[in-house]
Amino acid sequence: MRARCAEAYAELRTGCPVFHTEAWGGFWVASRYEDVYEVGRDVARFASGPGAMLPPVGHGRPLLPMDADPPEHPEYRRLLLPRFAPAAVAGMEADVRDLARGLVDEIAGRGEADLYETLCKPLPMLLITRLLGIERDETFWAWTDTLIYGRVDGTSPEEIRAAADGLYGFLEGQVADRRRRPGRDDLISLLLQGDVEGRPYREDEILDLCFFLLIAGLENTAFGIRATLRHLAVEPGDRAAVLADPGLVHNLVEQSLRLYSPVTGLCRTATSDTVVAGQSIAAGERVLLLFGSANRDPAVFPDADEFHLDRRDGRHVAFGIGPHRCVGSNLARLEMRVAVEELLRRIPQFQLSGADPGWYDATRLDIVWDPEEVAR
Ligand code: HEM
């Protein structure tokens, strides 16, 4: 679907902007920008509580704060937002750059690398584990991979359960450790201070928040970095333009988010009988907000299927829309920008080593370059 998404999305938007499918127990799909915008912003008519991911992650627990509704939802965000606000994230830039530089330095002399394994995955992993105050551990990636992609690639429920148990077991240990030795400044310690309308967070809320922060910070960001670097590999004109004018990296990141939206879509559930774009939707029915299609809607973005390095198109909904909009968007943007800057700084000329794997898979990104042309 993602490979030919431009055509498929266009057919949906013009032919049947809100359509029903029987897949995964049945749900509606909203594909136009204006409908995604309307549903995403109206948390009274459309709840997240029954679960935003379709198909669900399969470990039987809510993904907090994404799967929460008022009164808990705004309280969870109240605690998290200051840590991810623009000023706080700007203060992380030196760290992110250090990490990215170290990763690029490791491959610079080789002349070839799989960028997905050497830069796109480890950068967000090093960062989110640092923010949570936990040691980097390759097992995380295996667990989160199983949880995110196992939903759609036929992984058995037992394997998914085992991955969730592994991750929750690890996080329980971390929470217990923070309770024994309070006073640290990491995100897990922060969650221990949370309250919902005056009552402290329960243990299960703390664990569900930790769990989601870890997976939200890893896979989507790795996907976004990979799609952006792959774009630079297959579009040497855009790469040359960014090298000539480094300020263009902001537009590069926004266009990449818009066209290669890492999160294709998320669900809401109607709280009462309602209507979207003339289509009746019954209470309890689910609506998938197709962010990937909204971001290619020509009603909002002229020439919507093209990559415009001269435009920012800041209204895209790659980070969602409304009260659940991504808490980590500033950080994700920073990681994507710095990954590009640090790669181009040392390895300005590179190309794919084989056939184009496309932007749409979370798989290898093999590139080659001349080690003689590497900058010091
Ligand atoms: C390119 C990378 C990323 C993309 C494309 C992305 C996308 C999204 C989207 C579409 C949502 C909306 C959920 C909804 O409407 O139900 C969301 C929510 C969220 N994201 Fe991200 N995200 C990214 C990176 C991050 C990072 C780095 C973090 C934190 C470290 C993060 C933390 C969150 C949290 C906590 C929520 C839940 C917000 C809420 O429900 O109130 N994300 N993200």
For residue 116, the CA-to-ligand 1 centroid distance in Å is 20
Residue 192, C-beta contacts closer than 8 angstroms, at least 6 positions apart = 175, 178, 179, 182, 201, 206
CA of 328 to the centre of ligand 1 (A): 6
**pTM recorded for the entire structure:** 0.96
Ligand 1: atom nearest CA of 73 is 41
Q: Which of 314, 273, 228, 317 is nearest to 31 (CA)?
A: 317
Assign domain 5-56+65-135+225-373 to its CATH superfamily: Cytochrome P450 (1.10.630.10)
Percentage of the chain with pLDDT > 90? Answer: 82
Q: Which residues line ligand 1 (CB under 6 A)?
A: 48, 52, 65-66, 77, 128, 213, 216-217, 220-221, 224, 262-263, 266, 291, 318-320, 324, 326-328, 331-332
Is residue 270 very low, low, confident or very high in pLDDT (cuts 50, 70, 90)?
Answer: very high
Of all helices (H) and strands (E), which one includes residue 27? Answer: strand 27-30
Look at residue 354 in the predicted model and tell me its pLDDT. Answer: 93
Q: Where are the domains of the chain?
A: 5-56+65-135+225-373
> Which atom of ligand 1 lies closest to the CA of 268?
16
Q: What is the pLDDT of residues 93-111, one digit of tens each?
A: 999 999 999 999 999 999 9
CA 324–ligand 1 middle distance (angstroms): 8
DSSP 269-301: EESSSEEETTEEE-TT-EEEE-HHHHTT-TTTS
Rounded-to-integer distance, Cα 166 and Cα 133, Å: 18
